[in-house]
Amino acid sequence: MLAAVLLPASLLLAGCSDLVGTGELDYVPGNGGVVEFDAEDRQPPVELGGETTTGEEYTFTPGTVTVVNVWWSGCGPCIKEMPMLTELYDAYDGDVDFLGINIQDTSAANAHAFEIDRDVDYPSIYDPNGNALLAFTGRTAPRATPTTLVLDEDGVVVSLINGEIPSRTTLTDLVEDAGGPPAPPPATATSEDASGSTDG
């Protein structure tokens, strides 16, 4: 169970360098655990913004269920789940918004090059100082890389995944639970789950 206190963004960033995951890729390993918040336990709507990897200003606007993914290009699990996120972004076709928060790449240009290489079309805030992460408080504060949060139409975090997304079905179920549309069919047979499992 996640602690109910806010972990400073600086500690999250430091942990990405101090804890080793697989091979030479450093990250804070999560367990892929899903946390769904009861209505009475939810935090107020997030106020989120910053400069994207392309240098544009981004301000989060409620109104659509939104998937927020905390990542960086040297994180093995982030790389592994990215094809699933990009496939779902295309499959939802605007009915669900997607946003990345890049927390550790050495420059916005490096982060954007990674996005281009992997056909990531949704925006990412470049956030090496952790300022954007301060929008998430208490139990919604990201504590692993990657972390994926699902926000409802009011901008309230209703669930999160601590670590790599277990399956496509896991994420689409959380989106639907947040008030989003039913899951679109996968674009290809191999995109059901970035980790190879199809059983949610």
Tell me: the pLDDT tens digits for 39-58? Answer: 999 999 999 999 999 999 99
Q: Is the pLDDT of residue 21 over 60?
A: no
Q: Which residues contact 88 (CB under 8 A, 6 or more apart)?
A: 67, 96, 98, 168, 171, 172, 184
According to DSSP, the residues that pair with 162 across neighbouring strands are 33, 147
pLDDT digits (tens, 9 = 90+) for 109-166: 999 999 999 999 999 999 999 999 999 999 999 988 999 999 999 999 999 999 999 9
Measured CA to CA, the distance from residue 175 to residue 116 in angstroms comes to 26
Measured CA to CA, the distance from residue 95 to residue 196 in angstroms comes to 26
The H or E element that residue 17 is part of is helix 9-18
Q: What pLDDT is recorded for position 30? A: 53
Angle at 128 between CA 53 and CA 143, to 5 degrees: 115
pLDDT digits (tens, 9 = 90+) for 73-104: 999 999 999 999 999 999 999 999 999 999 99
* Better pLDDT: 26 or 101: 101
Q: What pLDDT is recorded for position 26? A: 36
Q: What are the structural domains, with CATH classification, of the chain?
A: 9-191 (3.40.30.10)
